[in-house]
A and B are shown apart, each in its own frame.
Chain A
Amino acid sequence: MTLFLWTLCLLVAGASLCAILAVCPSVSATARAANLIGALGSATACLLGLVALVCSPWNASLSVHLPWGLPVGACALGLDALSRLFLLPVFGLGFVCAVSGGLSLRHERPEMHNFGAHWLFYFLLLLGLALVMTSRDAVLFMLAWELMSLAPFFLIDFNDGDSKVRDASWVYLTAAHLGAVALMAFFVLLWQTTGQTSLDNVGPALSQATPGLQAALFVLCVLGFGAKAGLAPLHIWLPEAHPAAPSHVSALLSGAMINAGLYGIVRSLGLLSQAGNAQEWWGWSLLFLGLGTGVMGILKATAQSNLKRLLAYSSVENMGLMTMGLGVGYIGHICGNGWIAVMGVSGALLHMCNHAAFKGLLFLCAGEVLHACGTVRMGQLGGVQKKMPLVGIAFAIGAASIACLPPCNGFAGELLIAFSLLDGPSLNGVERQMGLLVSFAGMACISGLAAALYAKAYGITFLGQPRSGFAVNAHPATWRTLWPLSLPAAVCLAGGLAAPAFFKLAVSAAHCALPLSDVLSAQGHNALRQAEHSLTVVSCVGCVGIALVVAILFIRKILLRGRRVKAVPTWSCGFQAASPRVQYTDAAFSEPMARIFGRAMGLKVDVHQDVQLFPQDGFLAIMAPDRLRTKLFTPLFQAVESLCNACKIMQHGKIHLYILYMLATVVGLLIWGLRV
């Protein structure tokens, strides 16, 4: 715990230094210093944080009360298995993104940006995340949450000369604060019910709460934390913010920050269940909310042509999968089925860690492509693998992981959630069995579509011939700037090959999240053994597969040694005039899916065809605007704005009428007080 506190101190110190540099005049020397201090400082702090997590026993529950008095509440921090698991992506990805960001920001012009401010908010984001995951007091939690929610606004707004970027950061800020409103209501209600702000021993006091109050607490927690996690329909900030932010920021937001929403839901469910009157419909609503989010996310991702936007929607889909796992685990917990409970929750937690690794990797790769080519519109790319082979390999590893191909790490988490859903028939009641099996079918659909999605993302971007000058003129990236990508890529492979070890960590965290009774724990241990066995088999097969691939490559190299290898264009069925324009495009890739799911994907097709005898040029554009934003949130906010403007007639500047308001209020209060 001491090391962890030192990490926090280092983050505060780094933030202070960067704050000083932020107010200095923006010259290249200041920018270089800010970049160096920011990248090195945050990387060091993250490494120290990782050491702090690894040094103490994983299952040990440590806590510390700092003597700094807050106006209400206390400075109470705690570290248990669940906090450790959620801090792993924060510090791990924080390190990779700090290094990668430091390397990529060297090319930015110092007079255009304030690097000191950028790194200040990077430090504050890390500090906020670390405090959110460890605070054990409601007031401290809300303070940390605000810190964590506010910092990304400034990080996203890095290229603030672009109006789209400014718009995206405002969308983010609005969503973050609407979520925070729900959270404040949640904590105030909790405080009113239990009379204390400490989150450690709030459970027994909650048992007197009425079911209606508990339901209100649950709904508020899902609204507040769900907005951060990006659960539909509160996800709309993700596809706006991630493409607008610098890539190292997108990677950290997508891989670590949105997990805070999931963490909040897990912790709140744990608190509400301690009271002993947990309700089954909470689990079902989480399960179907996750299913809806997952299906919507993957369909919207398929329709995208911007690589970073695609990845953002894919984050929504993955958060949906994790919420599904959490929901089914909770159902198992309520119904007394240890297998479903342990598999569901630990699967969700394991997938959270895996998602941080591969989504961080994919966003960083997208950032490298953007830096080298100048665009991430897939229609303009193609053939990038030949120009940037290392980035291509890293992206391929990330894509294989997120598409759940064994032996990469994405497979392990989803396998556990699938195990959990597949055990549905052992529950009582046909509606429960049907519910779980339908969810399993939905999850299988999501996974299949994810494989197709990443075949598209990798194939259109990296394979084939360059489609435009952007891809032709891509300047290659060297090993010196790309080495940070090797860390998440290694985690993607190691997470799959050493899945049983990671699974054990996730199971400890799951026990921390939902305290299971003895009977369930016994079942859970049984589940642990069987699942570990299955994961070990997958790992072994994966190891053998990788060994075979390496062996084949080695043999090929030996066979080709001393022979001349001739490179020729791909055989295109005898067609001689092949050009990059005859290649498959991203729209063509999603077209078969659009035939089935077109309405759900919300595609907007704009076709101008010449119908004359000898047709001239035609025009086709396929767009996928977020219908929830255009049809729900935009009209809603416009209505609120016009309502607020209508209220302005009360503020007319006539002083004697203001006095009339007071008089009317006094008279009204008198009448109200004497009405009986």
Chain B
Amino acid sequence: MLLQTCLFLLVLSNFCMLGTPRIRRMTGMTAIQGLLLTVLLCIFGHVMLAVAVLLIKGLLLPGLLWRTLKRLPAQALVCPRKVVPLDVLAGMGGLAFSFWLDGRLVMAHGLFPPMLLPLGLATLFCGLILIVGRIKAITQVIGYLVAENGIFLLGMPLMTTGTAWFELALLLDVFVAVFVMGIAINHISDSFASIDVARFRSLRD
């Protein structure tokens, strides 16, 4: 029951992200997703990993994002409103597609608890939609984190002690990616006086 509730809250947080044009709220949702993942890990009995996830996904990464947000001007923290309904629609499509995939993919019986596979996929698609639909560099970082949360969720039932190292490596990978993108955003902000990736068009041939 707790598992189902956590998964439901996760999907809700996904749609909250898709449904808001404000980056601060999206950052907050990232932290909430980190917390939800920690709870889920505890349900699966990986307490050590849960602590690591709480530290990295629940505190460190949102903290880094908060730090970046503070340095940015206020108008940079709101995405255009007109893409929001489209994003929500696309998220619904992604959810439906995930359920369709769940019916089609052949998995070992009993490997995934009910609803985990489709909702993990839905989180992954939600992250990709955030990357595609929002034009700020920072929302792309957030989208990347959400997509990684989806992958993490899918990997959870497969975890044994051996694969935990793999997951830790993945977390490190994400950490480095956010670190690099944080620097990149600062530089983009300096060079283009904006973190709007649509301005990159001037770089094409």
- CB pair B197–A655 under 8 Å, yes or no, is yes
Known: A656-B133, A656-B197, A659-B128. 15 other contacts (CB 8 A): A651-B204, A652-B204, A653-B201, A653-B204, A654-B198, A654-B200, A655-B197, A656-B132, A656-B135, A659-B131, A659-B132, A663-B128, A667-B97, A674-B104, A674-B105
Which residues of chain A are near B203, meaning CB under 8 Å? 653
Tell me how far the C-beta of A501 lies from the nearest C-beta in chain B, rounded to whole angstroms: 63
Q: Does A670 have its Cβ within 8 Å of any Cβ on chain B?
A: yes
Interface set, chain A 632-665, CB cutoff 8 A to B: 651-657, 659-660, 663
Provide a sorted-by-A list of 21 A–B residue pairs whose CB atoms are within 8 angstroms. A651-B204, A652-B201, A652-B204, A653-B200, A653-B201, A653-B202, A653-B204, A654-B198, A654-B200, A654-B201, A655-B197, A655-B200, A656-B131, A656-B132, A656-B135, A656-B140, A659-B128, A659-B131, A660-B132, A674-B104, A674-B105
Q: Give bound CA distance, A674 to B105, whole Å.
A: 8
Task: Identify whether the interface residues of B are mostly helix, strand, loop, or mixed.
Answer: helix
Q: Does B101 have its Cβ within 8 Å of any Cβ on chain A?
A: yes
Tell me how far the C-beta of B153 lies from the nearest C-beta in chain A, rounded to whole angstroms: 18
Which residues of chain B are near A652, meaning CB under 8 Å? 201, 204
Q: Does B57 have its Cβ within 8 Å of any Cβ on chain A?
A: no
Interface set, chain B 100-151, CB cutoff 8 A to A: 101, 104-105, 128, 131-135, 140
Q: Give bound CA distance, A674 to B102, whole Å.
A: 11
Q: Which residues of A contact B (CB under 8 A)?
A: 651-657, 659-660, 663, 667, 670, 674
Q: Give bound CA distance, A667 to B203, whole Å.
A: 28
Interface set, chain B 178-205, CB cutoff 8 A to A: 197-198, 200-204
B97, B105, B132, B202: residue with the most chain A Cβ atoms closer than 10 Å: B132
Q: Give bound CA distance, A655 to B105, whole Å.
A: 31
Chain B residue at minimal CB-CB distance from A670: B101
- The total of chain B residues at the interface (CB under 8 A) is 18
Q: Which residues of B contact A (CB under 8 A)?
A: 97, 101, 104-105, 128, 131-135, 140, 197-198, 200-204
Tell me how far the C-beta of B1 lies from the nearest C-beta in chain A, rounded to whole angstroms: 31
Which residues of chain B are near A659, meaning CB under 8 Å? 128, 131-132
- CB pair B132–A674 under 8 Å, yes or no, is no
Tell me how far the C-beta of A315 lies from the nearest C-beta in chain B, rounded to whole angstroms: 42
- CB pair A674–B101 under 8 Å, yes or no, is yes
The 8 lowest CB-CB distance pairs between A and B, nearest first, are A653-B204, A653-B201, A674-B104, A660-B132, A656-B132, A663-B128, A659-B132, A655-B197
Q: Give bound CA distance, A387 to B135, whole Å.
A: 78
Tell me how far the C-beta of B9 lies from the nearest C-beta in chain A, rounded to whole angstroms: 25
Chain A residue at minimal CB-CB distance from B135: A656
Which residues of chain B are near A660, meaning CB under 8 Å? 132
Chain B residue at minimal CB-CB distance from A658: B132
Q: Give bound CA distance, A416 to B97, whole Å.
A: 74
Chain B residue at minimal CB-CB distance from A661: B132
- CB pair B134–A656 under 8 Å, yes or no, is yes
Q: Give bound CA distance, A674 to B104, whole Å.
A: 6
Q: Give bound CA distance, A163 to B204, whole Å.
A: 31
Which residues of chain A are near B202, meaning CB under 8 Å? 653
Chain B residue at minimal CB-CB distance from A663: B128
Tell me how far the C-beta of B161 lies from the nearest C-beta in chain A, rounded to whole angstroms: 31
Tell me how far the C-beta of B171 lies from the nearest C-beta in chain A, rounded to whole angstroms: 23
- CB pair B132–A657 under 8 Å, yes or no, is yes
Which residues of chain B are near A674, meaning CB under 8 Å? 101, 104-105
A653, A659, A660, A674: residue with the most chain B Cβ atoms closer than 10 Å: A653
Chain B residue at minimal CB-CB distance from A652: B201
Q: Give bound CA distance, A601 to B129, whole Å.
A: 63
Q: Give bound CA distance, A654 to B204, whole Å.
A: 9
Which residues of chain A are near B133, meaning CB under 8 Å? 656
Tell me how far the C-beta of A658 lies from the nearest C-beta in chain B, rounded to whole angstroms: 9
Q: Give bound CA distance, A670 to B124, whole Å.
A: 14
Which residues of chain A are near B134, meaning CB under 8 Å? 656
Which residues of chain A are near B200, meaning CB under 8 Å? 653-655
Q: Give bound CA distance, A667 to B100, whole Å.
A: 12
Chain A residue at minimal CB-CB distance from B132: A660
Chain A residue at minimal CB-CB distance from B133: A656
Tell me how far the C-beta of B2 lies from the nearest C-beta in chain A, rounded to whole angstroms: 31
Which residues of chain A are near B140, meaning CB under 8 Å? 656
Tell me how far the C-beta of A524 lies from the nearest C-beta in chain B, rounded to whole angstroms: 62
Q: Give bound CA distance, A670 to B131, whole Å.
A: 20
Which residues of chain A are near B101, meaning CB under 8 Å? 670, 674
Which residues of chain B are near A655, meaning CB under 8 Å? 197, 200
Tell me how far the C-beta of B131 lies from the nearest C-beta in chain A, rounded to whole angstroms: 5
Which residues of chain B are near A663, meaning CB under 8 Å? 128, 132
Q: Give bound CA distance, A408 to B160, whole Å.
A: 92
Which residues of chain A are near B201, meaning CB under 8 Å? 652-654
Which residues of chain A are near B104, meaning CB under 8 Å? 674
Q: Give bound CA distance, A667 to B97, whole Å.
A: 9
Which residues of chain B are near A657, meaning CB under 8 Å? 132
Which residues of chain B are near A656, meaning CB under 8 Å? 131-135, 140, 197
Tell me how far the C-beta of A257 lies from the nearest C-beta in chain B, rounded to whole angstroms: 37
Tell me how far the C-beta of A649 lies from the nearest C-beta in chain B, rounded to whole angstroms: 12
